[in-house]
Amino acid sequence: MASPEPDLTVRSGRVRHARRLATRAFRAKTGEFLAEGPQAVREAVAGGHAIEVFATAEATQRHPDVLAAAETSGADWLVVPDEVVAGVADSVTPQGLVARCRSLVQGLDALPDDPRLVLVCHDMRDPGNAGAVIRCADAAGADAVVLTADSVDPQNPKAVRASAGSLFHLPVIAHRDHGEVSAALVERGVQVLAADGRGTVGLFDGALDLARPTAWVMGNEANGLTPHARGLADRVVSVPIYGQAESLNLATAAAVCLYASARAQR
């Protein structure tokens, strides 16, 4: 139920707790993270992941469907002054809604037993890219996203915003040991394809059977895949460049590869 909380200020303990979730260490300690904006909050409350929602009076009136979903899920809806939401939000221009949520990131045992399409992000460092590729994987119908090595936290506020709610739609797994992830995929009968500009086979070459269960491995934004990660893949695949661009950015390359597999599998 919506509860006016005019006495909450940016100095209140409840608000300071939420603000500290901007840091990875505090997210790990509490098992919580923040989801910001109408779409992310809508998905958070619909899935029962939200603990409480900080909302301006204007946003409460503008999004009655999100309020109703929060009431159904049991999340507290706190109508607070605009400066409280601005203080909790990470974006420059907040949209009036921020939810404090229970962590969604899971361990390797959450990998489905019979996946058809998986995206593996190896040492991905940019939170915007992490959110964008989770969104791409969701749109392509992937069964899971796995982040390995020193990848960014997918519950970083920027990553959550960039995922546009997709973070709540499919398993997101964090497991540091890339070799163990590759082994788990092979055990499930999944071919592991590494996307790399130095690939020995092109994405649209007839030598690839993209209708098979497939895991696409994407590397670090600056340095690409490590020799170790490339060595664990069944094939190293390049995305063809037909124009004069030097390369594709990571999220675009991931989208092209995922949709190539999704089309072949359907």
Contacts of residue 162, defined as CB under 8 A and 6 or more positions apart, other chains included, come to 127, 128, 129, 130, 131, 132, 134, 135
pLDDT tens-digit series, residues 174-184: 999 999 999 99
From the number of C-beta atoms within 10 Å of its C-beta (0-12, 13-18, 19+), residue 156 rates as: buried
Q: What is the CATH number for 13?
A: 3.30.1330.30
Does residue 123 sit in the same domain as residue 90?
A: no
pLDDT tens-digit series, residues 205-261: 888 999 999 999 999 888 888 999 999 999 999 998 899 888 888 999 999 999 999
Query: Does residue 100 carry a pLDDT above 60?
Result: yes
Find out whether 201 and 207 touch, Cβ atoms under 8 Å: yes
Does residue 85 sit in the same domain as residue 121?
A: no
Does residue 33 sit in the same domain as residue 112?
A: no
Least confident of 115-119, 167-171, 200-204: 200-204
Does residue 94 sit in the same domain as residue 119?
A: no
Query: Does residue 86 carry a pLDDT above 80?
Result: yes
Q: How far apart are CA 198 and CA 143, in angstroms?
A: 27
In this prediction, residue 215 carries a pLDDT of 98
Query: Does residue 1 carry a pLDDT above 70?
Result: no
Does residue 206 sit in the same domain as residue 123?
A: yes
Does residue 220 sit in the same domain as residue 125?
A: yes
Does residue 97 sit in the same domain as residue 114?
A: no
In this prediction, residue 3 carries a pLDDT of 63
Query: Does residue 6 carry a pLDDT above 70?
Result: no
In this prediction, residues 129-136 reach a mean pLDDT of 96
Q: What letter would DSSP give residue 108?
A: G
What residues are paired with 147 via a beta bridge? Answer: 121, 174
Does residue 236 sit in the same domain as residue 150?
A: yes
**At which of 102, 124, 144 does a domain end?**
102
Helix (H) or strand (E) holding 236: strand 235-238
Which pair of tokens denotes residue 40? 């992310």
Q: How far apart are CA 118 and CA 145, in angstroms?
A: 6
Find out whether 48 and 121 touch, Cβ atoms under 8 Å: no
What residues are paired with 105 via a beta bridge? Answer: none
Find out whether 39 and 63 touch, Cβ atoms under 8 Å: no
Range of the domain at 53: 2-102
pLDDT tens-digit series, residues 148-163: 999 999 999 999 999 9
In this prediction, residue 5 carries a pLDDT of 62
Q: How far apart are CA 119 and CA 145, in angstroms?
A: 5
Q: What percent of the chain has pLDDT over 70?
A: 98
In this prediction, residue 163 carries a pLDDT of 95
What mean pLDDT value characterizes the chain? 93
Does residue 98 sit in the same domain as residue 113?
A: no
**At which of 76, 102, 128 does a domain end?**
102
Residues 114-132 as b or e (16 or more Cβ within 10 Å = b): ebbbbbbbbbbebbbbbbb
Q: What percent of the chain has pLDDT over 90?
A: 83
CA nearest neighbour of 125 among 103, 145, 104, 154: 154
How far apart, in Å, are the Cα atoms of 202 and each of 120, 205, 223, 236, 243? Answer: 19, 5, 20, 9, 15
The answer to whether the predicted template modeling score (pTM) of the entire model surpasses 0.85 is yes
Overall size of the chain counted in residues = 266
In this prediction, residue 12 carries a pLDDT of 86
In this prediction, residue 247 carries a pLDDT of 83
Does residue 91 sit in the same domain as residue 122?
A: no
Does residue 49 sit in the same domain as residue 144?
A: no
First and final CA of the chain: distance in angstroms?
43
Query: What's the sign of the alpha-carbon dihedral 41, 46, 49, 53?
Result: positive
Helix, strand, or coil here: 248?
coil
pLDDT tens-digit series, residues 31-44: 999 999 999 999 99
Give the residue with greater pLDDT, 244 vs 120: 120
Q: What is the CATH number for 139?
A: 3.40.1280.10
Give the residue with greater pLDDT, 107 vs 197: 107
Does residue 94 sit in the same domain as residue 117?
A: no
